[in-house]
Amino acid sequence: MAVAKSPRPTVPLRILTAVPICDGHDSAITTINIELARHGIEVIYLGYHQSVATIARAAVQEDVNVVGLSSYNGGHIVFFKEVVDALRRGGNGDIPVFGGGGGTITPADERVMRRQGTDRIFFAGTPLAEIMELIRRDYARLPRPKGRPQGDRALARALTLAERGDRGPKVRRSGSARSFVVGVAGPGGAGKSTLIDELTSRFLRSFPSGRIAILANDPSHPDSGGAILGDRVSAIYAQDDRVFFRSLATRGSLTGLSAAAPAAIEILRASGEFDLILVESVGVGQESDPFRIFGRGPKLVDATLFVLAPHYGGLIQLQKIALLNGADLVALNKCDHPMAHTARAEIQARLNQNARGQTLHATTAAKHFDPGVDQLFAALARLGALEPAGGEKPCQLRIEA
């Protein structure tokens, strides 16, 4: 039974939730995620079958208040300890870890796990209201590392301060990369997150010493202020240390981006760490302009990629989408769909009417090594004249007509 919601917190807590490697039980964590969001908490969900390194990296980059793990298949004593140890080794032992595991974690196990550094275990049968109350009471404050944050932790904290409206200390420039910033927009369900992940894989192969940053915007719930930030579930290649991935909740902004997105982009640019920055908007509608490409204020990005799926609703709906007029790159994703052939012809005709020489890229991002995604990445690299500080040139990608 659903529990009564608590008052909305002034600044939302950010909790990273995940299910350990070799564990596919996600029904309990899904219930907890929904309840956390209903209580005004921002949940960054990694999914199930997650490794220690992936959890520790995400906790740092997302600058979370706490990590919550759900384990149902045993191995919890070892796994929780390894997560705690991984955070400590990176100088991030101030980030607490809690968890639960139905009937698989016993009181005797809990005693061992707490001695090893796990902060708390919620046992089976604990009322949801009690869990919510304890989380909000005990983890409201941001963890504070010993000394000045370094590397990704410093970037992550700067982004958190930007979300809170606090300018905070300037980010020290630690690299010499000239960032090319691409805004990725499109309606919900077009496959933007999966396409971004596949573009990330091409970047990592093409530029062996380059870094890429991803800012993924998801909507906050208008009632509670909470959010389930789930784009990391699709981010397979974000498990590489050369990828910096940050989830942003809109927190009431109706532009398709968090109000902190402009500052976040500038923070990442100023670091000099990233050759490519991809900014994903929430699913946008027909009149949306999240990246200001039509001149309503300074543009937020250097180029815009607009992504559609074949089921956009018909030709008249296609004609209404203003972003198709100004997008630098356009992708028809999910081209394995039966409607893709007709959609491709209709969208190309729509682009031809713009008379801007726009090319439509046909992609199937759900298929690894898709030649359409190869072609799209090659066009993106040319547009941004991508050349990392290490001097690598893009690898020769396989292009098919």
Q: How far apart are CA 257 and CA 218, in angstroms?
A: 8
Relative orientation angle of helices 27-38 and 128-138, to the nearest 10 degrees? 60
> What is the reported pLDDT for 1?
46
Looking at the predicted structure, is the pLDDT value of residue 394 above 70?
Answer: no
Q: What are the structural domain ranges in the chain?
A: 14-138, 170-384
**Domain 14-138: CATH architecture, name and number where available:** 3-Layer(aba) Sandwich (3.40)
pLDDT computed for residue 216 by the predictor:
97
Per-residue pLDDT, averaged over 161-184, amounts to: 82
pLDDT category at 176 given cuts 50, 70, 90 is confident
247-276 per-position pLDDT tens digit: 999 999 989 999 999 999 999 999 999 999
| CB 184, CB 191: distance < 8 Å | no
State the pLDDT at residue 197.
Answer: 98
Closest CA to 278 of 228, 328, 336, 214: 214
User: Which residue blocks in 116-225 are alpha helix, DSSP H?
Assistant: 128-138, 151-163, 192-206
Cα-Cα-Cα-Cα dihedral sign, residues 247, 199, 333, 361: positive
**What is the pTM for the complete model shown?**
0.92
Q: Count the Cβ atoms, other than its own, within 10 Å of residue 262.
A: 18
CATH 3.40.50.300 fits 170-384, yes or no: yes
Q: Rounded mean pLDDT of 292-299?
A: 85
Enter the tokens of residue 283. 């699913």
So what's the pLDDT on residue 399?
Answer: 30
| Band of residue 398 on the pLDDT scale cut at 50, 70, 90 | very low
Return the pLDDT at 287: 78
DSSP letter string over 55-117? Answer: HHHHHHHTT-SEEEEE--SS-HHHHHHHHHHHHHHTT-TTS-EEEE-TTSS-HHHHHHHHHTT
- pLDDT at residue 173 above 80? no
Mean pLDDT, the chain, whole residue set: 91
Domain 14-138 identical in fold to domain 170-384: yes
Task: Indicate if the pLDDT at residue 381 is higher than 60.
Answer: yes
User: Judging by DSSP bridges, how do beta strands 360-362 and 97-100 pair with one another?
Assistant: unpaired
pLDDT digits (tens, 9 = 90+) for 315-370: 898 999 999 999 999 999 999 999 999 999 999 999 999 999 999 999 999 999 99
pLDDT band at 8 (very low <50, low <70, confident <90, very high): low
Q: What does the alpha-carbon distance between residue 187 and residue 192 come to, in Å, rounded to a whole number?
A: 9
| pLDDT tens-place string over residues 86-125 | 999 999 999 999 999 878 899 999 999 999 999 999 998 8
Share of the chain above pLDDT 70, in %: 93
Over residues 239-244, mean pLDDT: 96
Closest CA to 11 of 279, 290, 291, 260: 260
